[in-house]
């Protein structure tokens, strides 16, 4: 046979590779693990398998030793101490529980209907009375089909009570052996009884007694085949399959599946299945708890947890949840809302909501979603998270941003005059009056609309939207097409977001994400969640201080609101808001420790007879007063970049010195007024139309409503009257008129009967006396006087 000769150089390379492999083997046998490489192949395999064998033996043994006392305790296995969920307030005091021992009764197995027991076994574990804790066939089938399931009732009991919710091979392995251990300690009937008394059926119902009463208003012993199949059908996903709050189509599909399995297992006939499926069931009202504390707060917490872990997991988790709720603050807010409702009802309102936020952390300390949670029509709707038009309470959002960016200052002069801002948009102030030139400080404090639209026009709508978004208001959109009506609160915003925006002002511009939950422990007391701290500089500290200074200026606010929004002994910033036809009434305010927001209105958006300061204001003021009682007056910190300067009232320019027409104002050091003015006032003579006297005043304080510049014709106002003593029409000063001596009926002027007397003022005693109008001594009496009780003052 002829062989093809290989080139010599290839053989050399092959030999070289072989020599290198041999060298590596020899090096291993002499190295650190030489002992291992010198073992036989059989010993190597045994050595590698040893850790796996030890794990497989030690894991169930260690797990059993750790849980042996729990396994032997039926109370533990029924989860009577660690199912459901408990919410704690900020101090650690429980205020809401569901699914715990106090919320359900244990029912003996002989008090549970046979259809219920048969439906459960047929659907969940048909070999329950045959296996020793787990079914190898069911597990193998689940692995092959990848459909899940495969767990026996005993395994489910162990999983829900003794082990964590972790999805891993280790936990599944532990579950198998613990199920065997449970089977060794209890009879099948005992296991079935514990399962039925601990399993979660949805609608806050733990255990069969809860479920029978919540879903069907009857005892477990009375459950029919149809009702039993419906309840068992819930178990894989109680909230989705609930015939009360879930989808009925899904519920009936699950019921039919359970009935079919009951037929397969010989528990019922096909005819009985059809009859049960077609039976019209009478359902109860569904989920209920005995919670009366902060129900909307509780709903928000459970919804948040459900988004993270899933509703079913949460409701049977045994979680211990630490919340931000301050029960004392909650009570004060609830009391203030209740106290305000009689007046709100009288003014055509029906609902109110409120929220208290800690500006330093974002923690929600109190929350009232509606005035009456039990109201069938609107009580369950959480108006704290429902978007409504904020009216003028939106003004600080863009005012603050314009101040922060140096577009305006607190002293900038705005114009409260009739103005067409384009497209026929001519806004008016609430009282339909015009005040002429007015400073930013006074314009927003008095909630004037025309100057506010002027500010937004100057700052721009787009920048105002960005400012709102930066402050956490997500419902105001760039493509909202609001126009300048946005300046008066045309967009819809939830009270929670508005209040948290104000909280940023209270915290030097730093805004925290609102939080409800600070931490969670699982049913074994292990911490599984700690709330992260999330914050941002939503607006610079200069802008936050300037808007806080303005909104806390009681004197600037007083001409419109008087003292209705003050809190005695405390510096608080506050703004009201009222929408068209008073459909929404808002008041939001804060100090460095609390931000409090209140909304009042009707859920159906019908109009009311009054607005923010009258409807929401008292609730806000009462809440803030109670929260700050016995606390020191905390001032808003003044940033180092803020300076104070004297400015002139007339033009907001920097004054050359202090004077009667100047005042002191805050400014950012880089945004001082560019104009100046003299502090010496220009005095002018005017006629005081009320007295008819010429007076000298500061020109900037001229009031056309009560004064006139026509000093040449300055006279007291006069009227024509009938002189009853003479029967003649005379002209007298308006202040001298009295009905004793005169009559305004000049068309029928007659002299009084000579037998009658008239009132006259004694010039000596200044007392009113009765005299004969035809014979009285004019040197001692006068008929022209003003009367104060029995005393009198002659009028010229």
Q: Per residue in 284-341, pLDDT tens? A: 876 655 457 899 999 999 999 999 988 878 887 889 999 999 999 999 999 999 999 9
pLDDT band at 203 (very low <50, low <70, confident <90, very high): confident
Closest among 169, 295, 311 to 239, alpha carbons compared: 311
Rounded CA separation 331/321 (Å) = 20
Residue 738: the pLDDT is: 81
- CA 358, distance to chain mean position in Å, is 12
What is the average pLDDT across 631-647? 96
Structure token pair of residue 406: 């140096």
Whether the CB-CB separation of 427 and 530 falls below 8 Å is answered with no
What is the average pLDDT across 453-481? 96
Over residues 529-542, the pLDDT tens digits come to 999 989 999 999 99
Contacts 24+ apart (CB under 8 A), 752-759: 752/724, 752/725, 752/727, 758/724, 758/725, 758/783, 759/783, 759/787
The 10 Å CB-count burial string (b at 16+, else e) for 419-454 is: bebeeeeebebeeeeebeebbbbbbbbbbbbbbbbb
Per the model's pLDDT, the better-predicted residue between 364 and 162 turns out to be 364
Residue 51: the pLDDT is: 67
What is the average pLDDT across 668-689? 86
Rounded CA separation 271/260 (Å) = 11
Architecture, CATH, for domain 386-513+520-587 = 3-Layer(aba) Sandwich (3.40)
Residue 145: the pLDDT is: 46
Whether the CB-CB separation of 134 and 154 falls below 8 Å is answered with yes
Alpha helix (H) ranges present in 606-753? 612-615, 617-628
Residue 35: the pLDDT is: 64
DSSP 362-424: -BEEEEES-S-TT-TTTTTS-TTSSEE--GGGGHHHHHHHHHHTTS--TT-EEEES----STT
Rounded CA separation 232/229 (Å) = 5
Strand bridging mode 693-698 / 413-416: unpaired
Burial of 788 from C-beta contacts in 10 A (0-12 / 13-18 / 19+) = exposed
What is the average pLDDT across 352-360? 98
Residue 147: the pLDDT is: 45
Pick from 14-18, 568-572, 632-636, 732-736: least confident: 14-18
- pTM of this structure: 0.73
Residue 591 pLDDT exceeds 90:
yes
Residue 449 pLDDT exceeds 80:
yes
pLDDT band at 758 (very low <50, low <70, confident <90, very high): confident
Residue 739: the pLDDT is: 75
Residue 138 pLDDT exceeds 80:
no
What is the average pLDDT across 359-370? 98
386-513+520-587 has the same fold as 104-278: no
Residue 150 pLDDT exceeds 80:
no
Residue 613: the pLDDT is: 84
Number of other residues whose CB lies within 10 A of the CB of residue 565: 24
Which CATH superfamily includes the segment(s) 104-278?
Biosynthetic peptidoglycan transglycosylase-like (1.10.3810.10)
Domain regions of the chain by residue span: 8-37, 104-278, 386-513+520-587, 642-677, 683-713, 718-794
Structure token pair of residue 15: 């030999």
Helices 114-124 and 188-196 cross at an angle (nearest 10°) of 100
Residue 137 pLDDT exceeds 80:
no
Rounded CA separation 608/138 (Å) = 65
Over residues 23-82, the pLDDT tens digits come to 665 555 555 666 666 667 776 677 666 666 565 555 555 555 455 556 667 776 665 555
Rounded CA separation 146/137 (Å) = 14
pLDDT > 90: percent of the chain:
55
Q: What are φ and ψ of residue 336, in 5° steps?
A: -70, -40
Q: What are φ and ψ of residue 549, in 5° steps?
A: -60, -45
Residue 720 pLDDT exceeds 70:
yes
Whole-Å CA distances, 555 to 431, 433, 441, 573, 716: 19, 20, 10, 12, 33
Residue carrying structure tokens 């201080």: 545
Residue 173 pLDDT exceeds 80:
no
Residue 715: the pLDDT is: 85
What is the average pLDDT across 746-771? 81
Residue 233 pLDDT exceeds 60:
yes
Rounded CA separation 551/341 (Å) = 26
Residue 118 pLDDT exceeds 80:
yes
Residues paired with 534 in a beta bridge: none
Rounded CA separation 354/327 (Å) = 14
Residue 18 pLDDT exceeds 80:
no
> What is the rounded average pLDDT for all residues in the chain?
86
Q: What are φ and ψ of residue 742, in 5° steps?
A: -135, 160
Residue 100 pLDDT exceeds 80:
no
Residue 1: the pLDDT is: 47
Mean pLDDT is highest, among 153-162, 252-261, 680-689, 720-729, for: 252-261
Residue 427 pLDDT exceeds 60:
yes
The CB-side HSE value for 261 (13 A sphere, CA atoms) comes to 21
């Amino acid at each position: 046979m002829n062989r093809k000769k290989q080139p010599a150089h290839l053989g050399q390379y092959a030999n070289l590779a072989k020599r290198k492999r041999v060298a590596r083997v020899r090096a291993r046998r002499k190295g650190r693990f030489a002992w291992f490489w010198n073992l036989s192949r059989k010993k190597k395999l045994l050595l590698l398998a040893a850790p796996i064998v030890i794990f497989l033996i030690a894991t169930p043994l260690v797990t059993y030793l750790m849980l042996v006392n729990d396994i032997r305790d039926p109370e533990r296995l029924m989860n009577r101490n660690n199912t459901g969920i408990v919410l704690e307030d900020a101090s650690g005091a429980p205020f809401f529980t569901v699914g715990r021992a106090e919320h359900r009764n244990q029912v003996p197995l002989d008090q549970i209907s046979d259809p219920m027991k048969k439906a459960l076994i047929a659907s969940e574990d048909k070999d329950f009375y045959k296996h020793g804790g787990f079914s190898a066939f069911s597990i193998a089938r689940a692995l092959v089909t990848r459909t899940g399931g495969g767990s026996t009732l005993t395994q489910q009991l162990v999983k829900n009570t003794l082990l964590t919710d972790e999805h891993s091979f280790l936990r599944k392995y532990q579950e198998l052996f613990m199920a065997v251990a449970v089977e060794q300690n209890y009879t099948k009937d005992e296991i079935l009884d514990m399962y039925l008394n601990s399993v979660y059926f949805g609608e806050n119902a733990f255990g069969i007694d809860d479920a029978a009463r919540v879903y069907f208003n009857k005892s477990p012993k009375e459950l029919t085949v149809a009702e039993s199949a419906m309840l068992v059908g819930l178990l894989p996903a109680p909230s989705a399959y609930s015939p009360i709050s879930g989808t009925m189509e899904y519920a009936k599909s699950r019921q039919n599946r359970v009935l079919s399995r009951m037929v397969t297992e010989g528990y019922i006939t096909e005819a009985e299945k059809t009859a049960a499926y077609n039976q019209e069931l009478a359902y109860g009202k569904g989920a209920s708890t005995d919670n009366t504390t902060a129900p909307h707060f509780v709903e928000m917490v459970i919804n948040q947890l459900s988004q993270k872990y899933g509703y079913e997991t949460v409701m049977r988790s045994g979680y211990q949840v630490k919340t931000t709720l301050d029960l004392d603050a909650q009570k004060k807010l609830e009391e203030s809302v209740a106290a305000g409702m009689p007046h709100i009802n009288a003014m055509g309102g029906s609902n109110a909501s409120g929220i208290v936020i800690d500006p330093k952390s974002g923690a929600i300390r109190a929350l009232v979603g509606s005035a009456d949670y039990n109201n069938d029509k609107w009580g369950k709707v959480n108006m704290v998270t429902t978007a409504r038009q904020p009216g003028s309470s939106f003004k600080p959002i863009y005012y603050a941003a314009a101040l922060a960016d140096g577009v305006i200052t607190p002293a900038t002069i705005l114009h409260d005059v009739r103005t067409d801002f384009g497209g026929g948009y001519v806004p008016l102030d609430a009282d339909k009056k015009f005040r002429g030139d007015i400073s930013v400080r006074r314009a927003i404090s008095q909630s004037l609309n025309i100057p506010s639209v002027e500010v937004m026009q100057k700052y721009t709508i787009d920048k105002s939207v960005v400012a709102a978004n930066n402050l956490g208001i997500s419902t105001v959109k760039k493509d909202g097409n609001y126009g300048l009506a946005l300046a008066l609160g045309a967009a819809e915003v939830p009270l929670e977001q508005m209040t948290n925006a104000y909280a940023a002002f209270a915290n030097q511009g730093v805004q925290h994400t609102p939080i409800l939950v600070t931490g969670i422990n699982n049913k074994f007391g292990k911490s599984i969640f700690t709330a992260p701290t999330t914050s941002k500089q939503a607006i610079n500290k200069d802008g936050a201080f300037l808007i806080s200074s303005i909104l806390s200026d009681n004197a600037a606010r007083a001409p419109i609101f008087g003292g209705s929004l003050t809190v005695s002994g405390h510096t608080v910033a506050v703004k009201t808001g009222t929408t068209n036809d008073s459909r929404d009434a808002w008041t939001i305010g804060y100090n460095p420790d609390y931000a409090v927001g209140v909304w009042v209105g009707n859920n159906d958006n019908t109009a009311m007879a009054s607005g923010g300061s009258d409807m929401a204001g008292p609730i806000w003021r009462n809440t803030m007063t109670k929260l700050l009682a016995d606390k020191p007056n905390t001032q808003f910190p003044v940033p180092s970049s803020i300076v104070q300067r004297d400015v002139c009232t007339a033009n907001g320019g920097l004054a050359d010195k202090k004077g009667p027409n100047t005042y002191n104002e805050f400014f950012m050091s880089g945004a001082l007024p560019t104009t100046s003015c003299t502090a010496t006032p220009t005095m002018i003579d005017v006629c005081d139309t009320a007295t008819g006297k010429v007076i000298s005043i500061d020109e900037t304080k001229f009031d056309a409503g009560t004064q006139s510049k026509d000093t040449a014709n300055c006279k007291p106002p006069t009227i024509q009257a009938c002189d009853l003593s003479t029967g003649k029409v005379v002209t007298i000063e308006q202040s001298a008129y009295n009905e004793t001596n005169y009559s305004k009926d000049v068309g029928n002027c007659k002299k009084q009967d000579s037998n009658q007397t008239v009132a006259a003022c004694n010039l000596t005693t200044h007392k009113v006396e009765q005299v004969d109008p035809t014979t009285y001594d004019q040197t001692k009496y006068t008929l022209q006087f003003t009367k104060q009780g029995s005393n009198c003052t002659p009028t010229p």
